[in-house]
Amino acid sequence: MPGTILLIEDNPDHALLIQAALESAGWPAPLSVISDGAQALEYVRWHGPAGGYGLPCLVVLDLKLPKVGGLEVLQLMRATPGWQQVPVVVLTTSNHPADRDACLAGGASLYLSKISALDGPMTDLVQAVAQTVAWTPTRTEGDPPARGPHQEAHVH
């Protein structure tokens, strides 16, 4: 069984949508939700070889976070022993090229725009998770939405 997914997302609605998508795709493990950047930094310090608690198998990270920005959280992760190997999927409303470049340069595994990824069954997100942690979604539901999915994912 895969480990915990760490979801760093301040918008409760978006967190709910992500949870719903993973649940309906049959994600078997728990989901930890953190709603601001400061808590995320704390989490990084307490988890992993140095902190003593286990590492998540995947991080889904929003960029615009209260207190401390997502990019800074990403930088701390990449600078903390043990965390370097944890895949980080950045999921944000921004589709600005500068943000995307900064995240990929800062060590993000994947950059997804919420505008296209958080759409209905959220195929993009589920697929991204499946690829990153070697897990096969068990259930898919409903028909794909009438407007074709946008391919906004950029693999690093």
Q: Does 150 bind other proteins (CB under 8 A)?
A: no
Interface mask (CB under 8 A) for other proteins, residues 111-140, using x and -? ---xx--xxxxx------------------
Please, which residues have CB within 8 angstroms of residue 137's CB and are 6 or more apart in sequence?
25, 26, 27, 126, 130
20 is a site residue for other proteins (CB under 8 A): yes
CA 36 and chain centroid, separation:
14
Which H or E run contains 58?
strand 58-61
130 Cβ contact partners less than 8 Å away, ≥ 6 residues apart: 25, 136, 137
Is residue 98 involved in binding other proteins (CB under 8 A)?
A: yes
Cβ-based nearer residue to other proteins, 67 or 96: 96
DSSP symbol at 136: -
Q: Is residue 35 a contact point for other proteins (CB under 8 A)?
A: no
Q: Report the interface residues with other proteins, using CB under 8 A.
A: 11, 13-14, 17, 20, 24, 93-96, 98, 114-115, 118-122, 141-143, 145, 147
